[in-house]
Amino acid sequence: MDSVLYLLPYLLLGLAAVAWHVWRRGRRQRLELEALEQARKSGLMEPPSLHPVVDPNRCLGSGACAKACPEGALGVVDGKATLINAASCIGHGACAAACPVQALSLVFGTEKRGMDIPNISPDFETNVPGVFIAGELGGMGLIRKTAEQGRQAMDAIRRRAAQGHAAPLDVVIVGAGPAGISAGLSAIAHKLRYKIVEQEDSLGGAVYHYPRNKLAMTAPVKLDLIGTVRLGTEVQKEKLLAFWHDIVGKTGLTMNFNERFEGLTPHAEGGYEVRTSRGSYHAHSVLLALGRRGTPRKLGVPGEALPKVVYRLVDAEQYAGRHVLVVGGGDSALEAAVALAAEPGTTVTLSYRSEAFSRVKEKNRQQLDDAVRRGRLSCLLKSQVKLIEETQVHLALDGGETRVLPNEHIIVCAGGELPTPLLKSIGIRFETKFGRA
Strands 272-276 and 279-288: antiparallel
* Cα 262 from Cα 174, distance rounded (Å): 10
Q: SS3 string of 47-59?
A: CCCCEEEECCCCC
C-alpha distances in Å from residue 295, one per residue of 140, 300, 414:
19, 14, 11
Q: SS3 string of 223-267?
A: ECCCEEECCCCEEEHHHHHHHHHHHHHHHCCCCECCCCEEEEEEC
Sheet holding 402-406, edge to edge: 383-388, 392-397, 402-406
Tell whether the model's pLDDT for residue 213 goes beyond 60. no
| Start-to-end CA span in the chain (Å) | 62
State the pLDDT confidence band at 373, using cuts at 50, 70 and 90: very high
* Cα 347 from Cα 341, distance rounded (Å): 7
The pLDDT value given to residue 372: 94
* Cα 94 from Cα 142, distance rounded (Å): 11
Q: Are 415 and 295 in contact (CB under 8 A)?
A: no
The pLDDT value given to residue 107: 80
pLDDT tens by residue, 187-205 = 999 999 999 999 887 776 6
The pLDDT value given to residue 365: 85
Tell whether the model's pLDDT for residue 281 goes beyond 90. yes
Name which residue leads in pLDDT, 310 or 143: 310
State the pLDDT confidence band at 294, using cuts at 50, 70 and 90: low
- Tally Cβ neighbours within 10 Å of residue 385: 23
Tell whether the model's pLDDT for residue 282 goes beyond 90. yes
Name which residue leads in pLDDT, 312 or 377: 377
Query: What is the arithmetic mean of pLDDT over 96-112?
Result: 82
Of 105, 248, 117, nearest to 185 (Cα)?
Answer: 248
Of 37, 39, 25, 36, nearest to 79 (Cα)?
Answer: 25
* Cα 125 from Cα 423, distance rounded (Å): 14
406: helix, coil or strand?
strand
Question: What domains appear along the chain, each with residue ranges and CATH number?
Answer: 2-107 (3.30.70.20), 116-294+419-433 (3.50.50.60), 309-415 (3.50.50.60)
Q: Are 278 and 256 in contact (CB under 8 A)?
A: yes
Q: Are 148 and 304 in contact (CB under 8 A)?
A: no
Tell whether the model's pLDDT for residue 347 goes beyond 60. yes
* Cα 157 from Cα 142, distance rounded (Å): 22
* Cα 298 from Cα 295, distance rounded (Å): 9
Among 100-104, 138-142, 313-317, 361-365, the range scoring the smallest mean pLDDT is: 138-142
State the pLDDT confidence band at 2, using cuts at 50, 70 and 90: low
The pLDDT value given to residue 315: 83
The pLDDT value given to residue 436: 67
What residues are paired with 416 via a beta bridge?
296
The pLDDT value given to residue 309: 94
Among 137-141, 314-318, 329-333, 397-401, the range scoring the smallest mean pLDDT is: 137-141
pLDDT tens by residue, 398-417 = 888 999 999 999 999 987 77
State the pLDDT confidence band at 247, using cuts at 50, 70 and 90: confident
Tell whether the model's pLDDT for residue 61 goes beyond 90. no
State the pLDDT confidence band at 144, using cuts at 50, 70 and 90: confident
Of 346, 347, 344, 337, nearest to 412 (Cα)?
Answer: 337
Query: What is the arithmetic mean of pLDDT over 64-76?
Result: 81
The pLDDT value given to residue 39: 62
What residues are paired with 223 via a beta bridge?
227
Name which residue leads in pLDDT, 71 or 406: 406
Q: Are 289 and 150 in contact (CB under 8 A)?
A: yes
Name which residue leads in pLDDT, 6 or 270: 270
